[in-house]
Chains A and B, each alone.
Chain A
Amino acid sequence: MHATRLTLVTATLISAVIFLGMTIDSLRQMRTRTHADQISQEVIAGKRLWQHYDCNDCHTILGIGGYYAPDVTKSYSIRGEAWLRQFLKDPARIYPAGRQMPNFHLEDSQVGALVVYLRWVSEIDTNGWPPDPQGMARQEPVGHRIFLAQHCNTCHAIGGTGGTLAPDLTHIGSQKDKDWILAQINNPRSHKLDSIMPSFAQLPETDKQGLADYLVSLK
């Protein structure tokens, strides 16, 4: 009994020492894995805002936090800078339906800091988390993935799923041609002066093409 206890105590102490050693090594490796040299004053300001507004209360980041709103670890790389800027400035405007994020009435400089912060976060090496989906996203046309990623479906429905705030797009391909659709994506007011649809001109050209190709295919 005594020998067992001694073994256990020794093993515990050794494990604590190993843990401290791994901590030192981790902190060293994390400098490169997180690009710590890119933590500018603006990134730090963004983190302070993130904590000040208690964003982590609803959102997870690196998978930790509230489960009420989406994980923001990769928001920057999924949505892009322009989308994020518009969204943070007025969440309801760009994302009108469903569960809504409060409008914090941020100043432009604050939005800027948050976006820079989220860009830095999106570049952290997370060992491949979150995992790439294995299912439908992979088999679907590229355009449909962009359609979902940009949340077009909160307002527009296709084939019975999606929002009702804006016209149903199930047969849009038999009503409009690709040029018309591209113009609508770039500047919704080119067709209707008081359109509430946000412009997606900021999307990369390939995404806009993919989206338009997909939509014209919906006959």
Chain B
Amino acid sequence: MADELDTDIYSVRLARFQLWILLTAGVTAIVGYLFHWSFGMPFLEQPIIIKLVIVIAALIFLYNIAMTMFTNHHTLTRTTATLMGGMVMLSVMFLFGIPFVPNLSTQYYWWWWVIHLWVEGAWELIAASLVAWSLIKLTGVSRKTVEGWVFAEVALVLLTGIIGTGHHYYWIGTPHYWLVWGAIFSAAEPIPIVMMLVDAVRDLLKARTLPIVNTLGLAWLGASAFVHFMGAGVWGFGQTLPQINRWTHGTQITASHGHFAFWGAYGMLAIALMYAILPEISGRKPNGKQALSFAAFMSLNFSMIFMVMALLIAGIVQVYLQRVMGMDFLEVQSHLRIWFEVRLVAGCLFTVGCGLLLWDLFRLAARQPAAAVAGEPVPVPAI
């Protein structure tokens, strides 16, 4: 936000404070899980008290970036507006996951307002904005070109994604009409995702003629757009119609899609952003040890796709044996064993990839050695 508006963040102290609150809440929650301290709902396991602390951190954050934005509104861009919209939506949706609701169906009705309206609503807005920001920054393609479709994408994400929540309201005690509404609207959800892919490809192709400095950031960005499309657009679409979802709901196919989409849309994007930002902070050249960066990129993506495919096969076998043939759940699980072993191998390789990535990122983040030795700031070369 600050970089887009070419200004400083409203309050760095507030940002620090928020970081500490969030870190404390996060670490407490994860340590708590080890002692079975849990709210007991999937994905939203944090006990209510921790959720409230998270809300406080979110309010501080919103206040801080809103103030940054409003004090510089003359330079407000589409990218910042989209980011702000996504942030507000994200925070509001989270509230629906907090209370204990006696009726399980109703509890899950609101739960999807967090889970679905995050990944197929608020986060898509944030991602669209961050991708636009990185493309402008890293490719040198004009803002006018990069931002051209942003608002249309945002509108389409919301238009399809909001009623698209209905693809989770087929079987949880909700009325039958969701089988129609959920199917139609969620089936259109890949449209804005395809637009984002076209955006990224177009800008990356344009940038070929421009002098490019940060190829790593761009590689992750382009790959992210593609895997986002595959994981969310193709894998998601594949199970979104009720005729199919009736058989695949809550199986390893769901897990295959969840991993593919999350990794492509948000995991890889976060990594792309780190590659985009770190050299600027540390003053290092963005492309140093190419072999290490390449190894991290390949091992992470290869193992993730390996696992996603294993889960897809496991899921198809599971649906056939369990849902079609009527074999008992645990007996089916024993037939899936080999695919879980493949997943284990993929997971080990993924862990290695994480190590390589961290190594590469810390290398980029380390300040120029001279500064570290002398303990005084060295003029940072402009990128």
| Interface residues in chain A, defined as those with a beta carbon under 8 Å from any beta carbon in chain B | 4-5, 8-9, 11-12, 15-16, 18-19, 22-23, 25-27, 29-30, 33-34, 36, 39, 43-44, 47-48, 50-57, 60-67, 69-71, 98-99, 121, 124-138, 148-149, 151, 153-154
CA distance A34 to B181 in the complex (A): 21
Instruction: Summarize A's interface: helix, strand, loop or mixed.
Output: helix
Q: How far is the CB of B33 from chain A (nearest CB, A)?
A: 9
Interface pair A63/B45, CB less than 8 Å apart: no
What are 14 A-B contacts defined by CB distance under 8 Å? Answer: A4-B152, A11-B155, A22-B166, A27-B109, A36-B103, A47-B102, A51-B41, A54-B38, A62-B172, A98-B330, A125-B173, A132-B326, A133-B323, A149-B328
Q: Are B40 and A56 in contact (CB under 8 A)?
A: yes
Q: Cβ of A67 and Cβ of B255 under 8 Å apart? A: yes
Least distance between A73 CB and chain B CB atoms (Å) = 9
Majority SS of interface residues in chain B? helix
Q: Which one of A30, A51, A121 contacts B174 once the chains associate, using CB atoms below 8 Å?
A: A30
- Give A126 to B45 CA distance when docked, in angstroms: 25
Most chain A beta carbons < 10 A, residue from B163, B169, B325, B330: B330
Contact present for B105 and A124 (CB under 8 Å): yes
> In the complex, A66→B102 CA distance in Å?
21
Find out whether the CB atom of B174 lies under 8 angstroms from the CB atom of A26. yes
* B250 adjacent to chain A (CB < 8 Å): yes
- B residues with a Cβ closer than 8 A to A are 36, 38-42, 45, 100, 102-106, 108-109, 111, 151-152, 155-156, 158-159, 162-163, 165-166, 169-179, 181, 185, 246-247, 249-252, 254-255, 323-331, 333-334
- Which partner residue on chain B sits nearest A7 by CB separation? B155
Are A62 and B328 touching (Cβ within 8 A)? no
Q: B40–A52 contact, CB under 8 A? A: yes
A5-B152, A63-B249, A98-B330 given; A127·B171 CB < 8 A: yes
By the criterion CB–CB under 8 Å, are A148 and B328 in contact?
A: yes
Inter-chain contact B105/A56, CB cutoff 8 Å: no
- Per a CB cutoff under 8 Å, which of A30, A53, A129 touches B171? A129
Q: A16-B158, A67-B252, A137-B326 are in contact. List 13 more A-B contacts (CB 8 A).
A: A5-B152, A12-B158, A30-B173, A33-B174, A54-B38, A64-B42, A125-B173, A127-B176, A127-B179, A128-B246, A134-B325, A134-B326, A135-B324
